[in-house]
Chain A
Amino acid sequence: MHPSKPRRPQPWPIRLAHWANVPLLAILAASGLQILVAYPRMGPRGRPFALYPFQDAMPPSWMRLGDWLAGARSWHFAFGWFLALNGLVYVLYLALSGEWRRRLFLPRRDTRDAVATLAYYLRLRPAPAQTGLYNGLQRLAYTTALIMGVLSVLSGLAIYKPVQLQWLTRLFGGYDPARFVHLLLLALFAFFTVGHVALVALHPRTFGEMITGGRRPDAP
């Protein structure tokens, strides 16, 4: 926190929250899919949502956790707290440490660089100048993932307690739309994870930094 001592690329609270997310997201995703199996349709009874293309499709059994509906619900509601808590601690750390400045996407600052980086990945441009810890596209991706996490927790609460938290359920358009959004966010997290792992494989240095913290910028 001291201004004269530049921070490592990945301070320990970031690393801890990051690696705690791996088992927690896996447990929540897998138990969520087991819950979905109990009623693999979107939309209320008698009025299936036309825009959901996978009505009645079952996720494969290797993706699921909890064996049966009550088991899966227990896993989901036991570990959901820890995922939410992890996210809360992470957000508080970002806010209090000032880390948000080099991690979050600020449209005015980062849009141009995000577009340039995307063009580079699409082989349309040479590598853009790397200015800080993250480029604009990374900031956009990580900020989007953070928002997705918040929406996952909120849509989950909206379908867990659609009467006691009915104001929240109403924000998502009702119980069945909230359930649809909750599943949609799982699909988006799956896409994010594939892209994230692929890009880490292309830049292995970042993987080491997320374990060790990396070198301080002024280290010899």
Chain B
Amino acid sequence: MPPERILTRRRVLLGAAALATSACDSQRPREGFLGVMDRFNERAQSALFHPNRLAPEEPVGQLTPPGDFPHYFLSDTVPLAPEGWRLDVGGLVARPRAFTLEELQRLPRTDYRIRHHCVEGWSAVASWHGVRVSDLAQAVGADPRAGFVEFRSFDQGYYSSWDAPGALHPQTVLAYGMNGAPLIPGHGAPLRLYSGVKLGYKMVKYLTTVRFLPEATGGTWEDRGYEWFAGV
């Protein structure tokens, strides 16, 4: 006789109540039923992502007025680059090295003017210029087995890890300029990540480190419960 296998109405109701209260915990959206759907959505977003689909170029008239493009950082005051700043590039690469800003600026330059999509719901338009992460990957000989790229900053350790297809997208750049001028500290000087294919919180400012990795790590907001893929 199979013991305790009978689905009584009481058990179904208790199960449903437990599911409703624990499986959908707003404070832990990456766990329980919300977590299952988060992973499903991650796969759906990844399937929808096309490596050559570009964010549309915006006309000059759409540029966000100066001062209205928000500054954002974790530190109490605008983080300033330490003396002798370098970008460390490592992980699964043939030639790990530290780049000065001038060395990065000697790599091929990419320019575009696109719309920024913040997780909060606002959008803004600016033009950005810098070096593609894919060009950097080529310069250091990144291993194709590195399916992920992690970006770290000197702003209270703010970081984010990306899927390689997003990081190597032609509109994902290490930007050193905005709206035709050198990047200002409020927007992440000397070097920040910018992209047409992710939400704003994935675009790490005040960069210090880029690492090509075989697996995903997390991120400052991702570790608190925000979605990891965050494509647009």
Interface residues of A (CB under 8 A from B): 35-36, 38-39, 41, 44-47, 65-75, 77-79, 81, 159, 161-166, 175-176, 179
Contacts and interface: CB of A to CB of B under 8 A. Distances in A.
How big is chain B's contact interface, by range? 35 or more
Given A46-B64, A70-B224, A77-B37, 17 more contacts: A38-B119, A38-B121, A39-B118, A39-B121, A44-B122, A45-B124, A46-B124, A69-B119, A69-B120, A70-B225, A74-B225, A161-B232, A163-B196, A163-B197, A164-B45, A164-B197, A176-B123
Nearest to B118: A39
A72 B26 contact: yes
A152 B224 CA distance: 29
A164 B232 contact: yes
Interface class of chain B by DSSP: loop
B123 A71 contact: no
A44 B38 contact: no
B150 interface: no
Contact of A77 (B41, B115, B197): B41
Which residue, B29, B41, B115, has most C-beta atoms of chain A within 10 A?
B29
Interface of B: 24, 26-27, 29-30, 33-34, 37-38, 40-41, 45, 48-50, 53-56, 62, 64-65, 67-70, 115, 117-125, 196-197, 221, 224-227, 231-232
B24 to A, nearest CB: 7
The 9 closest A-B pairs by CB, nearest first: A46-B68, A71-B26, A74-B29, A78-B37, A45-B124, A38-B120, A67-B26, A39-B121, A70-B225
Contact of B122 (A41, A164, A165): A41
Contacts of A179: 121
Nearest to A66: B26
26 contacts: A35-B121, A41-B122, A44-B115, A44-B122, A44-B123, A44-B125, A45-B64, A45-B69, A46-B69, A67-B26, A68-B27, A69-B120, A70-B227, A71-B225, A73-B119, A73-B226, A74-B26, A77-B38, A78-B24, A161-B45, A161-B231, A162-B232, A163-B196, A164-B50, A166-B53, A166-B56
A67 B120 CA distance: 14
B120 A39 contact: yes
Contacts of B121: 35-36, 38-39, 159, 179
A36 B122 CA distance: 10
B58 to A, nearest CB: 9
B115 to A, nearest CB: 6
